[in-house]
Amino acid sequence: MWKLKNLFGNGKKGKEFSKNGKGDAADPAVQFFEEYEEKEQELTVLIKEFTRGGAVRGDYLFPAVPFLAYIDKESGKAVHEKGILCWVIHRSSDDYIHKFKNYGIYKVLVRKMKPGILNPIGQPVKNWYYVVKVLKREVKEPQLERIRTEYLKPVSIKDSLGEFKLDRKYNQFEGQIDWMGSMENVSLEKDKDEDTANLALKTLHMLTSDPVKWDRKLREYAAGELTELANDWREEEETPVIKKEEFAERIGSPSFSIDKEGDFEAVYNDDDMFAGHWIVVYGTADGMLTDTGIEG
């Protein structure tokens, strides 16, 4: 018999259920454990960032902590592949059970997720483990230490537009550009497997190749789509009606956020036309403007 015992921070003994599927099959915790193999194994991992988050289902929270690499027990060699460590606690518990430090190296006792389980977008799950127990903290493992050192090295893109520094927590390069005499923030999403942002940077060069044209295009698009809405947001009827030309002038200079496919968002201050929300214009890598709205 498997037991949901000592897994919950409030000290209560959990439900007992069998590996043959007896018990409440609809219980999220039962479903969780049924997805993992019975065999336990030791795993030495290099943790990425540790945050107290996870999926919520029913009365349970399922923490999920990413790792950057692990030691293959058979070969003894480091495998530089990402994965997930997870477990289950009651939503009401103030005991998170397992605590990890950012970029720490740990030896854990785990059960591997069964083959054939798919993630929410329908792809097979890889390197996903349930944590039975933390066996050792602050493990000395030279191979993983080298990976950690390389991973934490400062990385930046130096370009004619400026320097963009990699923020690994958000997987994006951040910097500023001169946009018609004003220094504005730019974020470029990191490419999937390299410390680059090639398509994002290409889009930024497209936008800055003719800033006067793009500045007018973005402002006019936002004004054309949102001026009527801005007038609906007026708090008092006596407030003068906003015209499109006025709207376009009031929204200031944009900051840019560009994803790894080259699609972008131009983000503007609303000048209190929408009670402090941001105005966002959405565009594609080939220069098409597709939508606009308010956020935040």
Question: Which pairs from 28-33 meet CB under 8 Å and 24+ separation?
Answer: 28/57, 28/58, 28/59, 28/60, 28/62, 29/4, 29/58, 29/60, 29/88, 32/60, 32/62, 32/88, 32/130, 33/2, 33/4, 33/88, 33/130
The pLDDT tens digits for 126-153 are 899 999 999 999 999 999 999 999 999 9
Q: Which of 39, 120, 48, 114 is nearest to 80 (CA)?
A: 48
What pLDDT is attached to residue 283? 98
Residue 17 pLDDT > 50, yes or no?
A: no
The pLDDT tens digits for 238-296 are 788 999 999 999 998 999 999 999 999 999 999 999 999 999 999 999 999 999 999 97
Q: Which of 200, 296, 195, 194 is nearest to 257 (CA)?
A: 200
What pLDDT is attached to residue 188? 98
What pLDDT is attached to residue 60? 92
Pair type for strands 182-189 and 255-258 = parallel
Is residue 227 very low, low, confident or very high in pLDDT (cuts 50, 70, 90)?
very high
Is residue 94 very low, low, confident or very high in pLDDT (cuts 50, 70, 90)?
confident
In the chain, what is the straight-line distance between the N-terminal and C-terminal CA atoms, in Å?
A: 49
Residue percentage of the chain with pLDDT more than 70: 91
CA 25 to CA 22: how far, in whole Å? Answer: 7
Residue 38 pLDDT > 70, yes or no?
A: yes
Average pLDDT over residues 214-234: 95
Residue 103 pLDDT > 50, yes or no?
A: yes
Per-residue tokens: 61: 């929270």
Q: Does the predicted model carry a pTM greater than 0.75?
A: no
What pLDDT is attached to residue 286? 97
What pLDDT is attached to residue 120? 65
Residue 13 pLDDT > 70, yes or no?
A: no
What pLDDT is attached to residue 24? 60
Residue 19 pLDDT > 70, yes or no?
A: no
Q: What angle do CA 41, 42, 44 make, to 5 degrees?
A: 145
Mean pLDDT over each residue of the chain, to the nearest integer: 89
What pLDDT is attached to residue 21? 38
What pLDDT is attached to residue 254? 97
Residue 3 pLDDT > 50, yes or no?
A: no
